[in-house]
Structure formats: C-alpha cells, structure tokens
Amino acid sequence: FNLPFFSGFAFFFVLLAALVVVGMRIAGKRNMESLRLILWCFTFMMLGYSTYVTTMIRSNADPAIDMYNVDNPNTLVGYLGREQYGDFPLLVGQNFTATPVDYKETGTRYTKGQDKYIEIGKDVKPVYAAEDKMLFPRVWDASNDQGRADFYRQWLNMGQNEVPTQKENIEWFITYQFNFMYWRYFMWNFAGKQNDIQGFGNVRDGNWISGIPFIDNLRLGDQSKMPDALKNNPANNKLYLLPFILGVIGFIYQLNRRKGDFIVTSLLFFFTGIAIVIYLNQPGNQPRERDYAYVGSFYAFAIWIGLGMLMVRDWFSRVIKGPVASYAAAILCLLAVPVLMASQEWDDHDRSKKQLARDLAKNYLESCAPNAILFTFGDNDTYPLWYAQEVEGIRRDIRVINNSLLGIDWYINQLRYKVNDSDPIDVIFTADQIQGRKRDYVLHNPQANVPQNVYFDLYDFLKNVIGSDDPSLKVTISRGERINYFPTRKFKIPVNEELVRNNGTLNPADSALQELRFEIPDRKRILMKNDLAVLAIIAANKWER
C-alpha cells in the first residue's frame, strides 16, 4: 500500500491485540474458562517475545556493533530463526554421506530498500535422493571443514566408504548427542567433574565423575593413576552424587505429593534440556563445550533438589518430634549439597581474576599502528576486542573486521561508515552489487583471450570485472543463473614506495618492491563473498592503513 516501514508490523499487533480482547469478552460472557486461560497464556507469551523490540530499537540507532542489522521486522525474522547458522534437518533428512541431486527454490528473500522492501533472490535448498535420507536424521553434516564427517566415522567406528545405517544414526543420538553432549554436562553439576579440559570422548578429559572410586574406575579407569596436573586441576570436583541423589529424592517426593506440579516441573526440565538436544541436532567435533545451552534444565532439577529437603524432613520427623526435624533436615542438606559444592567448585568457577581475554585484546590493539585494520576469525577472536574498544575505550581508532561475517551484505556495508575513531573503509563494490545473494561467490573460468602469465591490477579487476554487470563477464550455472567469474589467478598491487617508507609499513633499511604479486591457489576454484571483501579492502587500502 506504499505505506512507510513498520506500518504492517504495527497493524498486525494492533489487530492481534484486538482479537485477544474480543476473545476475552466472548470467553467472559459464555463462561469459557479454558479459552480465557489459553488467551492469557498467549498474551504473556507475546509479552515475553516483545522484549525483542529492543533489538530493533538498538539497531536503528546504528551502534558501532550492529549484529545482523536487525532494524526492521524482515531481518528480525532471520535473526530469531538463527539463519546465520544455516539449516539442519529434524524429522526427515539426509545422512552425512549424501550429495544433493538437485536444488529447489523454497521462497523469495527480501531486504529493506530505500523506501520499500525489495526482492534479492530466492531461497534455495538442496534436494537429496530418497535412499540418502532417513527418519530422525542425526548424522547429517557432510561438510568436513571442521572435521565433522571424519568425527562421525571415528565415533561410530565406520569405514571410510561406509554409509550410516538407521542403527548408527540412533547410536549417535544416544551416545553422543544425549550422553556426551547433555548427560555428561548434567552430571558435571550434580555428581562431579573430572577436569576443565575439553573432552572428545577420551577417558581423561572433561568427563563426569562422582568421587566414588568404584563407580569412576569402572567407567573411566583407575583415576588414582591420572597425572598430578589433572588430579590437582581446580575443576577436579568430587560431589559424591549427593546433589543428584537429593534431586532424585525431590523428584519422587513431588511425584507422590502433587502430580500436577510434577508434570509442570518435568515439562520445564524436558523442554529446557532433552528437547534442546533434539532440536539443535549437533554435529560432531564441537569447537567448545556446550553446557551453557542446557542451563534451564539444570535450574529445573534444582527445584527437585529443594523439594528433596522436605522428604528428608519427613524421614527425620518419624524419629524426631517437633520443629527439630526441620532444622536437622535443613542443616544436613545444606552441608551435603550447597556447602560441599561451594567447597569443591568455588576455585574453578571464580572469574574475578581471569582477565586473559581482556589482556590479549588490549595487547592486540596496542600493537597496531594508528587507524589500522585488524582481521579476526569468529567469535572468540572478536568479542574481547569489541569489549576492549566499546567498554574500556582502548584504541577506538582501529577497525576490527570479523572475517566470519564478511560474507553478509549488511556487515560489508557497515565498513563504509566511520565507527568510533576509525575511518570509513573503501570496499570497492557498491551496496547494490553485494545485495542479498549477489556475488555470494565467483567461479574460476579461464578464457582464451586472457593470458595466464600476466599479473592484473587487483583494484581494477575487482571494480571492472568482478563488479561488472556486463553479460560477457558472467557465466551460466545451474537453473540458468548467471554469475561473475575470475579468468586469471595472478594479481598485483602497486606499491607507493614513498608512502610505505613514511607511514612505517617498511623499516628504514628495508628494500621496496614496485608491486606486490600473488596468486589465488589452484585448489581454490571459488572465491566467496568474504574472500572478495578481504581482497577489496586490501586493494582499496593502497597501503594507507
């Protein structure tokens, strides 16, 4: 209707509120208590989700760090759907040895334009043959960039060319996703922990223990023979299963006393723990321990630990009369669980003196020249740097660029602006040239009229070949789509000798090339958008930063 942005968003929620009010009135007049309860539950759910509006408010203020650029309802959908993490199957899907037999369009993608939402391409998903798919797919990730396919084979003792069966698929779910990636974390909290070294299924790193030799040695081997460095690890916590046992007692107590409350607590426990295991469908070889994902279920179990004390009180009241039974139960449970946990776990949970991430970030930043550009890879490299700059104001003149985000148009566009004390960056391509799926990747496609022994100027090549919409500089791929290509692997960047000597790029005694030459490796047949962005930043920099 050519109305301004947020018009449909506002209309939708006004309409929704009106429907809820009408529904409430109908429920009141007709005495429909179930409908009233449903509408109140829905209303409170919506109040909970309404906090995400703060994400859009913040993004519209254009802060220095604006992840996903959630400044409109369209991008909010992608943000809430975790689209940046890719797609994964849940009920029916491929196994990790499958290769797509086709690709199909599943919808249209839009982005916020100058005065309306504009189409930026189609959502495309791979199609797999029926024999390569299974129910409840758990071993699904065919990518091996993080060694995940190899990890599947190693964990399941599969041969190099074996195809996983449904039995192996379920075995992965039970032994890895549930036992290793949930139950192990659960028992860390309520039984004990071996050490804080990330485990990958081996018996000496990151397992749960109880502190009871018979149980631990049976599962993991003789723990007394562990090296002193591991036996004396601050995270070697022995809880003797006491929190776990008290929780089980509370579980039984609530089941027997109040089944309705028990069902609610059990649902909370299930949906914040086991249901998340099923939904996340984690592939192997995780880069870090993932216990934080299940904290909600640990809280739910703590409810049963609290109720367990009431059962202990009831036991005491059989032999001790009056309020003394309650005091005795409280003191015993206090010593057996929270006091024991604090004495065992305080040293490895105390973060008050852990400043390594902040100190590393400060050292990285302080080692850079004024107005420098610093490339990072992924979250763990980047967040400490952002913290140092945004919170402590350390070296705000440096532009931190996260390579993991450079394949997304909104992040490249954010480089065009001055941020804090950091000057804008020339990324060569216009916003329209990288919008949506445009130039997500370019193919190597040698041409007879392009000599392969000549080095081409990188800036000119990116601007006038990769950045061109000339049909002759594009190649047709599947489904008739035409994309840009690079016909050569050899490039050069001219060197301004006077500039590089004056700005400290070179030491006084260094010699200087007239041009820097390099080649795209033969194994790299495709340049992704983030590759193009890095090359553009280097070429357009012209040695100034």
Per-residue pLDDT of 79-97, as tens digits, reads 888 776 778 899 999 999 9
Q: How many CB atoms lie within 10 A of CB 484?
A: 22
Per residue in 7-63, pLDDT (tens digit) is 998 999 999 999 999 999 999 999 999 999 999 999 999 999 899 999 999 998 888
Neighbours of 22 (CB within 10 A): 11
The pLDDT of residue 113 is 82
Dump pLDDT digits (tens) for 126-180: 999 999 999 999 999 988 777 888 999 999 999 988 999 999 999 999 999 999 9
Mean pLDDT, the chain, rounded, equals 93
Q: What is the pTM of this model?
A: 0.83
d(CA 538, CA 532): 10
Tell me what pLDDT residue 363 has: 97
CA 182 centroid distance within chain: 17
Query: Has residue 310 got a pLDDT over 80?
Result: yes
**Per-residue model confidence (pLDDT) at position 154:** 93
Angular region, 251: left φ>0, alpha ψ -120 to 50, beta rest:
alpha
Residue 451: predicted pLDDT: 93
- Residue 504 pLDDT greater than 90, yes or no: no
**Is pLDDT at 118 greater than 90 in this prediction?**
no
> What is the structure's pLDDT at 85?
72
| Pairing state between β 482-486 and 474-476 | antiparallel
Beta bridge partner(s), residue 475: 483
Give the model's pLDDT for residue 477.
84
Angstrom distance (rounded) from CA 336 to CA 334: 6
The helix (run of H) or strand (run of E) holding residue 79 is helix 73-80
- For residue 93, what are the β-bridge partners? 134
294 closest CA partner among 440, 190, 203: 190
Angle between helices 259-271 and 295-317 (to 10 degrees): 150
The answer to whether residue 74 scores a pLDDT higher than 90 is: no
